[in-house]
Amino acid sequence: MAKVKTTFFCQSCGNQYAKWQGQCTACKQWNTIVEEVIQKQDKSGWKLPTSTTKRVSKPLLIKEIDSAKEARLDTFDGEFNRVLGGGIVPGSLILLGGEPGIGKSTLLLQISLKLPYKTLYVSGEESQKQIKMRAERINPENDNCYILTETKTQNIFKQIEVLEPDIVIIDSIQTLHSDYIESSSGSISQIKECTTELIKFAKETATPVLLIGHITKDGNIAGPKILEHMVDTVLQFEGDRNHVFRILRAHKNRFGSTNELGIYEMQGSGLREVSNPSEILISKKDEELSGNVIAATLEGMRPLMIEVQALVSTAVYGTPQRSATGFNAKRLNMLLAVLEKRAGFRLAAKDVFLNITGGITVDDPAIDLAVVAAILSSNEDVALQKDFCFAAEVGLSGEIRPVQRAEQRILEAEKLGFSTIFVSKYNKISLKKTAIKIQLISKIEDLIEFVI
């Protein structure tokens, strides 16, 4: 038995100190440093079975390394595959974070029930009967998913040796604890030790491991920041409890793009994949209303048509309000300043409210033109035609700037039945004989002629 060692960790950022101090020098938080036991026994968590011979790696010239594309495991979930970059890479560690009750456990349980591979679902938060009740609601027919309720990593690895699963799902990493660390579950040292053991297991056996992670009140994944550095992929499951839609994003992905987006609809039978989100994000209405405009945006490689709503009214109090939901408030102020300076609209004494429908957040500058059109429409109380859409960036001098992949946006708008799309005349467009009219404009004054 080795001597017990302790050290001090910041519970906010995970920084390590040799002794206690009042303020963390890394994150500047006060009274967040606590003492934790970091060593109890001189043992490692995961070991290959004695019958398995481990090969010792040796250095290779980069040109000698086999560059053949490794086959990914299909999750049979199109949205999940898209965000991961085509499926799960063998031996990878994937961390999924999100708000409590957003549907993290439901998503991974639903995927595990679809898989034809032998899957081990380890839960430290629910009993087997509770998981069974949820599974019957999602997909009662499955012969490959095994449920284990356990929190000690040593016991989990014993069951893994017996079962030899193709995929392991852990719900959640904050509930696990190792006998080799004497602190409580969820502490900095326990999370680091348990993750290290799982990484060693995943890399040595080429078995992918999916982890569910809790988040803090700031929206960051609970535990040390190093946790996000240790894993291969960090996914964020987002959404508003008041909306039925859930959005899956990749914040880090060693095996694919971080620009892709997956959209789900929460139903009583689980999460339904939304293959064409444009039809859902655009509200169905019979009459034309002022302040409602459709924008053509991109999330990764996927084009989306979203609805932008604006409301401009006279300020009741001395200071006008500027409120944006799903859009950068500073960029809204910039566009209002451009309208005031370049187009002569007096908006300084008016309240301006902007909303991106569907509960999603968009940072694509291509929706600038739609935001300006919605503000002008609401200010003049003039409704735009329902079959107009916009895709262009607005510069500080009032010029309409080109955006990337304009042709892809145009084709998506044409597919959804729009009659006219407004884009910058500086975009190089090679499309011929399109059913949709491509209206080219160069400055904000050109837009005003169509809006008012």
- Residue 128 neighbours by CB under 8 Å, 6+ apart: 147, 149
Domain boundary among 220, 244, 275: 275
My answer on whether 259 and 304 are in the same domain is no
Is there a binding annotation on residue 103? yes
| CATH number of the domain within which 133 lies | 3.40.50.300
- Residue 322 resides in a domain: yes
Enclosing domain of residue 171 = 74-275
Please give the Cα distance from 314 to 336 (Å, whole number).
15
Tokens of 323: 């409120």
My answer on whether 269 and 286 are in the same domain is no
In this structure, the number of other CB atoms found within 10 A of the CB of residue 280 comes to 15
Question: In this predicted structure, what is the pLDDT of residue 151?
Answer: 93
In terms of C-beta density within 10 A (0-12 exposed, 13-18 middle, 19 or more buried), how is residue 5 classed?
A: exposed
Question: In this predicted structure, what is the pLDDT of residue 53?
Answer: 43
Residue 134, CA distances (Å) to 119, 127, 152, 246 in order: 17, 11, 24, 18
The residue among 27, 2, 3 whose CA lies nearest residue 188 is 27
Question: In this predicted structure, what is the pLDDT of residue 1?
Answer: 47
How many domains does the chain contain in total?
A: 3
- Residue 59 resides in a domain: no
My answer on whether 112 and 232 are in the same domain is yes
Is there a binding annotation on residue 380? no
- Residue 287 resides in a domain: yes
| CATH number of the domain within which 401 lies | 3.30.230.10
Is there a binding annotation on residue 102? yes
Is there a binding annotation on residue 85? no
My answer on whether 143 and 195 are in the same domain is yes
Query: In 11-142, at which residue ranges do the beta strands (DSSP E only) sit?
Result: 16-17, 33-39, 93-98, 119-123
Single pTM value for the model: 0.76
- Residue 284 resides in a domain: yes
Is there a binding annotation on residue 359? no
Q: Which residues pair with residue 308 across a beta bridge? A: 293, 356
My answer on whether 172 and 35 are in the same domain is no
Please answer whether residues 177 and 184 qualify as being in contact, where contact means their C-beta atoms are separated by less than 8 angstroms. yes
Please give the Cα distance from 295 to 393 (Å, whole number).
11
Is there a binding annotation on residue 182? no
Please give the Cα distance from 58 to 48 (Å, whole number).
19
User: What three-state secondary structure class fits 170?
Assistant: strand
Question: In this predicted structure, what is the pLDDT of residue 57?
Answer: 66
User: What count of residues does the chain have?
Assistant: 452
My answer on whether 216 and 264 are in the same domain is yes
Tokens 């989100």 belong to 277
Consecutive 10-residue runs of the chain (452 residues): their mean pLDDT?
Answer: 71 83 88 75 53 60 77 91 92 92 92 92 92 87 90 92 94 89 82 91 93 81 80 88 81 88 86 80 75 89 89 86 92 93 86 88 92 93 90 93 91 88 90 88 88 74
- Residue 215 resides in a domain: yes
Is there a binding annotation on residue 97? no
User: 172 preceded by cis ω (within 30°)?
Assistant: yes
Question: In this predicted structure, what is the pLDDT of residue 140?
Answer: 74
My answer on whether 197 and 238 are in the same domain is yes
My answer on whether 235 and 117 are in the same domain is yes
Please answer whether residues 234 and 251 qualify as being in contact, where contact means their C-beta atoms are separated by less than 8 angstroms. yes
Is there a binding annotation on residue 101? yes
Q: Which amino acid is at 170?
A: I
- Residue 420 resides in a domain: yes
- Residue 48 resides in a domain: no
- Residue 251 resides in a domain: yes
b/e per residue, 343-355, with b = 16+ CB within 10 A? bebebeebbbbbb
Domain boundary among 226, 242, 275: 275
Question: In this predicted structure, what is the pLDDT of residue 167?
Answer: 95
Question: In this predicted structure, what is the pLDDT of residue 15?
Answer: 83
The residue among 187, 190, 173 whose CA lies nearest residue 39 is 190
Question: In this predicted structure, what is the pLDDT of residue 195?
Answer: 92
Tokens of 260: 């892709």
Residue 405, CA distances (Å) to 217, 257, 412 in order: 37, 17, 11
Question: In this predicted structure, what is the pLDDT of residue 52?
Answer: 45
Please give the Cα distance from 102 to 20 (Å, whole number).
37
My answer on whether 322 and 215 are in the same domain is no
The residue among 300, 271, 281 whose CA lies nearest residue 82 is 300
My answer on whether 229 and 286 are in the same domain is no
My answer on whether 191 and 323 are in the same domain is no
Domain boundary among 260, 275, 290: 275
My answer on whether 22 and 114 are in the same domain is no
